[in-house]
Amino acid sequence: MKQEESAIIKKSDIVLLVAILVIALITFVYIMLTKKPGAKVQISIDGKVEKTISLDEDYEYQVTTDMGNNRIVIKDGVVDVTAADCPDKVCENHVTIKNVGETIICLPHKLVVEIVE
Ligand SMILES: [Zn+2]
């Protein structure tokens, strides 16, 4: 009896495992397909492109100009300004961005962080 029980559990375990694998695979493929390949973060200061960084890699970039400091963090494909010493803190309080065309702008520092293709 014990053996029968464990056999039943094993069979349902396999079904469950296969289901999880299939779901994981579908999720993975979905993420790969919907993720815009090669998206980059373009950091511009006073209208000039200062740096372009791939969204694929985690990266931290410190912007230091005469106007002030901004810390830009790229992690898991999203971009965030985590620290800034501007008076309005609009950039620091901005939600993270990840889609092409989205921007975080720091007016006092003339800083534009934009997702580009
Ligand atoms: Zn700011």
Which tens digit of pLDDT belongs to each residue from 60-107? 999 999 999 999 999 999 999 999 999 999 999 999 999 999 999 999
Ligand 1 centroid from CA 67, angstroms? 10
Looking at the fold, whether 17 and 47 belong to one and the same domain comes out as: no
Structural domain count of the chain: 2
Whole-model pTM: value is 0.69
Burial of 84 (0-12, 13-18, 19+ CB in 10 A): buried
Looking at the fold, whether 44 and 89 belong to one and the same domain comes out as: yes
Looking at the fold, whether 29 and 44 belong to one and the same domain comes out as: no
Looking at the fold, whether 86 and 57 belong to one and the same domain comes out as: yes
Ligand 1 centroid from CA 14, angstroms? 53
Query: What CATH number should be reported for the domain holding residue 111?
Result: 2.60.320.10
Q: How far apart are CA 85 and CA 105, in angstroms?
A: 14
SS3 at position 81: strand
Looking at the fold, whether 56 and 106 belong to one and the same domain comes out as: yes
Looking at the fold, whether 52 and 30 belong to one and the same domain comes out as: no
Ligand 1 centroid from CA 111, angstroms? 8
Looking at the fold, whether 46 and 64 belong to one and the same domain comes out as: yes
Ligand 1 centroid from CA 36, angstroms? 27
Q: Residue 23's domain spans which residues?
A: 1-34
Ligand 1 centroid from CA 87, angstroms? 7
**Given CA atoms 26, 29, 32, 33 in this order, what sign does their dihedral have?**
negative
Q: How far apart are CA 117 and CA 96, in angstroms?
A: 17
Ligand 1 centroid from CA 53, angstroms? 20
pLDDT tens-place string over residues 14-62: 999 999 999 999 999 988 787 656 799 999 999 999 999 999 999 999 9
